[in-house]
């Protein structure tokens, strides 16, 4: 079964290719178009398809559109009521109009495709499938509880289900207008950030505040019972003034963020506690934009009744492209296999890189031991742009398109935030050798390869790696195994040999308002415009002219 999955309805348009149950490729359109999040999350952008991502996925699989058995679209028009609660009264009919014509749009974008092979997959079912089928093996088998939550799908905002050998049993759906995701989006907009894109900034800001408005927020955001929540109508203006974008957040903004974060965590724990009592399943998988909330994920891990908690690394809407494809493959009789990792995007060979670097006329060297050379630069407190292998699918930079730094310098977070042009309160994350992680980090799942949980930092280590410890004492650790990523693992080993620290600062190779670097040209543009000391691109090093090794 050859299935191309497509997400295009709300935001983060993406494509994924699954062949005989195996994930071949997956990528977001923003990495090709260089337009952050691919498009604006408005109804009149629904017609925009991830055309470049779709074509690239087919190229990776050596397929023509006519070779496809199915193309999935992660929104089902039959489940949508444009006049229902929680819908945009002005524009929702237009969104549905575009969705119903998606097969025609796809046929036009992929010449040779038979429009009759386009299959609609309900939005939250696609999210759920992206977690259930892509998750790694578990000792107890595949039986699992699944929670898929975001702003909204067709007429619901979350799904709770139990996946067993008999398939997926839906235990509860949350009808609109109540939505954990939409409340957090409203908060993001009220605090002066970009809605449906900057929710992670609100989560970071929350750690600077106290939940002093929790009682007022709970009146509008709480668990109600039966796997459902009350989540609407928060009187934002009465709690804190709207922040103008670009102005510094005040204490009241941080306290409001902390209060909503706490209420959101409580509501999620209520939903999942109810689901566990219904099923007694001790494994949980999650997807949807709400599952990108690292603080909430960690609290579920610590306080929930589960032995294992796994989050789909492309948990946002981009992940529904993969989920839809895996769902269709399973329904057709294929046995979907766990995703091999988040590095499912584009890569370039050595000859291609050499040609591009020669064309760019930059100072290039090819060290005999790349990991050792980069570790030497990092040990000297250089900032290193790290461009290796296939790019990541999802919002986290995981050692393929990363900006690296020394964790012992407490000034490096501010230095990196200046490079990236983002707020000073934004944290950076630790990348750590998997076998060393348990002695440094606790309070979250380990291994943690996708940077989707917060961890506490062990006694004695906070002082040694202050750059990666957030104001609340936590760190969003990413573990690196030699089996999955031998080059980055060697870099960590070489850095430890020079500094005694098996940890590096890792943040995304991007600047504010722009997608993460994806191609070599993107990397060279970044290096040319940002005060970064070294670019490690494939086996090559690019340094500032006149700058020596070390």
- Whether the CB-CB separation of 2 and 19 falls below 8 Å is answered with yes
Distance CA 240, CA 207 (A): 17
Three-class secondary structure of residue 159 per DSSP? strand
Nearest to 512 by CA among 226, 247, 201: 201
Q: What is the dihedral of CA 100, 106, 107, 113, to 10 degrees?
A: -120
Say if residue 317's pLDDT is above 70: yes
**Model confidence at 550, in pLDDT bands (50, 70, 90)?**
very low
Residue 547 has a pLDDT of 54
Strand partners, 170: 161
Please give the Cα distance from 407 to 100 (Å, whole number).
51
Angstrom distance (rounded) from CA 474 to CA 194: 25
379-422 pLDDT, tens digit per residue, is 999 999 999 999 999 999 999 999 999 999 999 999 999 999 88
Q: Greater confidence, 1 or 546?
A: 1
Determine contact, residues 57/4, Cβ cutoff 8 Å: yes
Cβ proximity of 229 and 174 under 8 Å: yes
Token pair 């005040």: residue: 250
pLDDT winner (highest mean) among 37-41, 300-304, 528-532: 300-304
Share of the chain above pLDDT 90, in %: 92
Angle between helices 102-109 and 92-100 (to 10 degrees): 50
* Whether pLDDT at 423 is above 90: no
Tell me the sheet residues that pair with 505: 405, 430
**210-227 pLDDT per residue, tens:** 999 999 999 999 999 999
Average confidence (pLDDT) over 36-54:
94
Three-state helix/strand/coil letters over 191-252: CCCCCCCCHHHHHHHHCCCCCCCHHHHHCCEEEEECCEEEECCCCHHHHCCCCCCCCCCCHH
Instruction: Return the pLDDT at 405.
Output: 98
Contact 506, 402 (CB under 8 A): yes
Please name the residues in contact with 22: beta carbons below 8 A apart, sequence gap of 6 or more: 337
Could you give the dihedral angle defined by the CA atoms of residues 190, 194, 200 and 203, in that order, rounded to the nearest 10 degrees? -10
pLDDT tens per residue, range 137-177: 887 678 999 999 999 999 999 999 999 987 899 999 999 99
If you average pLDDT over every residue of the chain, what do you get? Answer: 95
Give residue-wise pLDDT tens across range 499-530: 999 999 999 999 988 999 999 999 999 999 99
Q: What does the pLDDT average to over 340-367?
A: 96
In whole angstroms, how far apart are CA 28 and each of 24, 163, 414?
A: 14, 27, 29
Element at 319 (helix H, strand E): helix 319-331
* Rounded Cα gap, residues 534 and 523, in angstroms: 11
Average pLDDT (297-311) is 97
pLDDT score for 246: 81
**Is 489:495 a contact under the CB 8 Å cutoff?**
no
* Phi and psi at residue 412, to the nearest 5°: -70, -35
**Beta carbons within 8 Å of 309's beta carbon, 6+ residues apart:** 283, 284, 285, 286, 297, 300, 301, 445
Give yes or no for residue 189 having a pLDDT over 60: yes
In angstroms, rounded to a whole number, what is the distance separating the alpha carbons of residues 505 and 477?
Answer: 10
The pLDDT value given to residue 53: 98
| pLDDT tier at 545, thresholds 50, 70, 90 | low
Written as six digits, the tokens of 266 are: 């409580």
Look up residue 339 and give its two tokens. 């995703």
Tokens of 496: 């430890």
pLDDT at 548 over 80: no
Q: List all residues 6 or more positions away from 62 whose beta carbon is below 8 Å from its beta carbon.
A: none
Q: Which tokens go with 223?
A: 């668990």
**Once rounded to an integer, what is the mean pLDDT over residues 240-260?**
95
Closest CA relative to residue 180, chosen from 267, 282, 307: 267
Cα distance between residue 314 and residue 291, in whole Å: 10
CB 225 within 8 A of CB 274: yes
d(CA 261, CA 266): 9
Answer whether 0.85 is exceeded by the pTM.
Answer: yes
C-alpha distances out from residue 1 to 24, 116, 311, 327, 396, Å: 12, 16, 26, 12, 30
- At residue 150, what are phi and psi to the nearest 5 degrees? -155, -155
Q: Please give the distance of CA 292 from its chain centroid, rounded to a whole number.
A: 6
What's the pLDDT score for residue 546?
56
User: pLDDT for 431-470, tens place per residue?
Assistant: 999 999 999 999 999 999 999 999 999 999 999 999 999 9
pLDDT tens, position by position, 1-21: 999 999 999 999 999 999 999
The total of other beta-carbon atoms located within 10 Å of residue 61's CB is: 18
| Residues 95-146 pLDDT 10s | 999 999 999 999 999 999 999 999 999 999 999 999 999 999 887 678 999 9
The DSSP letter of residue 533 is S
Residue 549 is predicted with a pLDDT of 43
């Amino acid at each position: 079964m050859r299935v191309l999955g497509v997400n295009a309805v709300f935001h983060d348009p993406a494509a994924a290719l699954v062949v005989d149950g195996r994930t071949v490729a997956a990528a977001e359109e923003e990495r090709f178009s260089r337009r952050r999040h691919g498009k604006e999350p408005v109804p009149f952008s629904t017609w925009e398809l991830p055309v470049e991502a779709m074509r690239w996925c087919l190229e990776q699989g050596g397929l023509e559109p006519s070779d496809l058995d199915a193309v999935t679209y992660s929104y089902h028009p039959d489940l949508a009521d444009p006049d229902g609660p929680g819908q945009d009264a002005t524009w929702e009919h237009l969104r549905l109009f575009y969705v119903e014509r998606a097969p025609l749009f796809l046929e036009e974008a992929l010449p040779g495709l038979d429009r009759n092979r386009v299959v609609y997959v309900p939005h939250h079912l696609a999210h759920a499938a992206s977690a259930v089928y892509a998750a790694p093996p578990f000792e107890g088998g595949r039986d699992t509880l699944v929670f898929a939550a975001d702003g909204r799908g067709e007429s619901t905002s979350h799904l709770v289900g139990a996946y067993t050998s008999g398939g997926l049993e839906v235990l509860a759906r949350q009808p609109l207008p109540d939505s954990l995701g939409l409340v957090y989006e409203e908060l993001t907009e009220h605090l002066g950030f970009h809605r449906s894109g900057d929710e992670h900034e609100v989560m970071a800001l929350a750690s600077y505040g106290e939940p002093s408005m929790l009682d007022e927020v709970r009146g509008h955001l709480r668990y109600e019972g039966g796997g459902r929540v009350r989540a609407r109508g928060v009187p934002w203006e009465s709690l804190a003034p709207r922040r103008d974008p670009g102005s510094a957040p005040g204490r009241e903004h941080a306290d409001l963020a902390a209060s909503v974060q706490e209420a959101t965590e409580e509501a999620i724990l209520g939903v999942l506690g109810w689901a566990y009592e219904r099923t007694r399943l001790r494994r949980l998988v999650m997807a949807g934009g709400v599952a990108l909330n690292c603080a909430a994920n960690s609290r579920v891990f610590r306080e929930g009744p589960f032995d294992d908690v796994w989050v789909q690394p492309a948990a946002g809407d981009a992940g529904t492209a993969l989920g839809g494809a895996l769902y269709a493959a399973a329904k057709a009789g294929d046995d979907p296999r766990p995703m091999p990792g988040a590095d499912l995007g584009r890569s370039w060979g050595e000859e291609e890189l050499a040609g591009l670097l020669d064309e760019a006329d930059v100072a290039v060297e090819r060290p005999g031991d790349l990991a050792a050379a980069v570790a030497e630069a990092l040990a000297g407190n250089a900032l290193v742009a790290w461009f290796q292998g296939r790019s990541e699918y999802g919002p986290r930079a995981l050692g393929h398109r990363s900006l690296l730094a020394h964790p012992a310098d407490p000034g490096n977070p501010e230095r990196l935030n200046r490079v990236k042009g983002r707020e000073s309160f934004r944290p950076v994350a630790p990348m750590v050798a998997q076998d060393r992680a348990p002695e440094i980090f606790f309070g979250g799942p380990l291994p943690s390869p996708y940077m989707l949980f917060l961890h506490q930092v062990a006694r004695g280590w906070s002082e040694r790696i202050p750059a990666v410890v957030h104001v609340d004492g936590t760190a969003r650790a990413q573990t690196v195994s030699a089996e999955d990523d031998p080059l980055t693992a060697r870099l960590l080993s070489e850095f430890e040999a020079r500094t005694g620290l098996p940890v590096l600062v890792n943040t995304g190779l991007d600047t504010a308002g722009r997608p993460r670097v994806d191609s070599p040209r993107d990397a060279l543009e970044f290096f040319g415009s940002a005060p970064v000391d070294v670019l490690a691109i494939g086996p090559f090093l690019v340094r500032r002219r006149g700058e020596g090794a070390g």
